[in-house]
Amino acid sequence: MTTPQLSVLLPVYNAEKSVRQAIDSILAQSFDDFELLIIDDGCTDNSAKTISETDDDRIRIVTNPQNLGISKSLNLGIKEAQGKYIARMDADDISLPHRLEVQVDFMEANPNVGVSGGWFKEMQLGVNHKPPTHPEKAKVQLMRYNIIGHPTVILRKNLFVENDLWYNESLRYSQDYDLWSRAAKHFDVANIDDFILLYGRGNASEEKQKLQDEIADTIKLSQLKNLELKPTEAEAKLHLSLINKQEIPDENAAKHWLQKLLDANNALRFYHAEYFKEMIDFLGRKL
């Protein structure tokens, strides 16, 4: 097999009911210059058997000696990947047939973009997700939430390796949000305005959702460093209340904080001025 243009990275852990459909959706893509790099993360069900039964020379299987977790498996996969680009895939999702073609075309046409995703639909909940597409707007909105659906991702391997950008293996959840937030300091992030994936997971458990939210809040606060801001405890709490659309205990303090954010960006120009002002205005509407 010659060196592929794209590596599709698919970590699998005990997904015997869905992994066949996920694999088939990649093998049926209109774009075919890829390797499907499957990471068997210590599966204890029949996932490994299902994977091994697939006969296609584009598939390459790496078997972890034990369950390492998603972050370690993904970092391993990035190192193993042979392609110029790396696309993400999860074992319970379905990539639509044109996905890889339109994503590679987009990356080829936009050399300043280091990582991008796309629109996706949740199969179980029936929800459509249309995250922002423009790189400057996406960068701003990262302050509020994770604007790139993890299984829709395509990234340039060389930019991530050269900038020492890896998944934080100490994070149990929201590893992708943390990575894109750090990556946005080095290159453009974006989404394509096209539905490219059917997302398979439903609602998370209450405990998992709470942990995800706590880690996400830490990531949101860390991005204030981009504006050289070191919030007090009260300001940090206020910032998260505004970002997460929670009750604001002190509207005057909130207005002051929003102005402080705006002034900081006007001085540093880290974020696009117009899109940043739009976000500040949006956060201030409830005051």
Residues 92 and 195 in one domain: yes
Task: Tell me what the mean pLDDT of segment 101-113 comes to.
Answer: 98
Residue 208 has pLDDT above 70, yes or no: yes
Please name every residue paired with 29 in a beta bridge, in sequence order, or none if there are none: none
| Cα(225)–Cα(152) distance, integer angstroms | 28
Q: Classify residue 169: in a domain, yes or no.
A: yes
- Amino acid sitting at position 116: S
3-state secondary structure (DSSP) of residue 217 = helix
Q: What is the pLDDT of residues 114-157, one digit of tens each?
A: 999 999 999 888 899 999 999 999 999 999 999 999 999 999 99
CA distances from 195 to 120, 149, 150 (A): 5, 11, 14
Residues 42 and 98 in one domain: yes
Residue 266 lies in a domain: yes
Q: Which stretches of the chain are DSSP H helices?
A: 19-27, 47-52, 70-80, 99-109, 135-141, 157-162, 175-183, 206-222, 233-243, 251-268, 273-284
Query: Does residue 187 share a domain with residue 77?
Result: yes
Q: Would 217 be classed as within a structural domain?
A: no
Whether 33 and 152 map to the same domain: the answer is yes
DSSP assignment of 33-69:
-EEEEEEE-S--SSHHHHHHT---TTEEEEE-SS---
153 and 32 share one domain: yes
Q: In this structure, are 140 and 266 located in the same domain?
A: no
Residue 195 falls inside a structural domain: yes
What percentage of the chain reaches a pLDDT higher than 70? 98
- Tell me, yes or no, whether 80 and 186 share the same domain: yes
- Return the pLDDT at 72: 96
Q: How would residue 229 be classed by pLDDT, with cut points 50, 70 and 90?
A: very high
Same domain, 14 and 94: yes
Question: Cβ distance 232 to 221 under 8 Å?
Answer: no
Residue 204 lies in a domain: no
CATH number of the domain encompassing residue 39: 3.90.550.10
The domain in which residue 267 lies consists of 228-284
Question: Which band of pLDDT confidence, cut at 50, 70 and 90, is reported for residue 204?
Answer: low
Regarding whether 86 and 24 lie in a shared domain, the answer is yes
Q: How many CB atoms lie within 10 A of CB 30?
A: 11
The confidence score (pLDDT) of residue 284 equals: 94
The answer for residues whose C-beta is within 8 angstroms of residue 104's C-beta and 6 or more apart is 5, 6, 31, 85, 154
pLDDT at 1 over 70: no
Residues 66 and 186 placed together within one structural domain of the fold: yes
Split into its structural domains, the chain has a count of: 2
Closest CA to 202 of 124, 94, 129: 124
State which of 152, 179, 199 marks the end of a domain. Answer: 199
Establish if 223 belongs to a structural domain: no
Write out pLDDT tens, residues 164-176.
999 999 998 999 9
Residues 243 and 185 in one domain: no
Same domain, 113 and 28: yes
How far is 11 from 92, CA to CA, in rounded Å?
A: 11
Within a domain: 205:
no
**Measured on CA atoms in the order 179, 183, 185, 190, is the torsion positive or negative?**
negative
Mean pLDDT, rounded, for 95-101: 98
The DSSP symbol for 129 reads E
Q: Is the pLDDT assigned to residue 5 strictly greater than 80? A: yes
**Tens digits of per-residue pLDDT, 21-56?**
999 999 999 999 999 999 999 999 999 999 999 889
Domain end marker among 199, 220, 252: 199
Amino acid at 140: V
Say what the pLDDT of residue 203 is.
Answer: 57
Does some domain include residue 209? Answer: no
